[in-house]
Amino acid sequence: MTDLFRYPHAPGAQDRDTSRDAADAAAVTAPMLRAQALAVVERSNGLTADEVAGRLGLSILSIRPRLTELSRLGKVRDSGQRRKNASGKRAIVWAPVNPARLKGQR
């Protein structure tokens, strides 16, 4: 069963031992990776998950779920734009809800 009370503040898991193990392992680094991904997106005009992962020098497999979590937390949003990712598929361009250039103007 998916733990609806932890997600998106912690990695989600399906009702499988391997999924729960992966979520538990990711829980250690997820907050830091979310913060890093958010900082990159906030300093951009929008990036795909592949682009965020590339700028951070990290695996797309560690970044894509963090962007989904950030979206559910209201920190990034789907810009409506799409760009091709490394596999040639159309990918969401994530935009900052609070761009860095506007943070000092509050």
Pick the more confident residue, 95 or 14. Answer: 95
What's the pLDDT score for residue 100? Answer: 81
Tokens of 7: 């997600």
pTM of the model: 0.77
Residue ranges covered by each domain of the chain: 17-103
Q: What torsion, rounded to 10 degrees, do the Cα atoms 94, 92, 30, 1 define? A: 130
Q: Give 13-57 pLDDT, tens digit per residue.
A: 556 677 677 777 777 899 999 999 999 999 999 999 999 999 999
- Provide the mean pLDDT of the chain: 85
CB neighbours of residue 106 within 10 Å = 5
The CATH number of domain 17-103, selected from 1.10.10.60, 3.40.190.10, 1.10.10.10, 3.40.50.300 = 1.10.10.10
Return phi, psi of residue 79, to 5°: -75, -15
- The pLDDT of 72-92, averaged and rounded, is 96
Pick the more confident residue, 63 or 9. Answer: 63
Q: Is the pLDDT reported for residue 4 higher than 60?
A: no
Pick the more confident residue, 78 or 6. Answer: 78
CB-based burial label for 76 (10 Å; 0-12, 13-18, 19+): buried
Residue 65 to residue 73: CA distance in whole angstroms: 12
Q: What is the percent of the chain where pLDDT is above 90?
A: 64
What's the pLDDT score for residue 2? Answer: 46
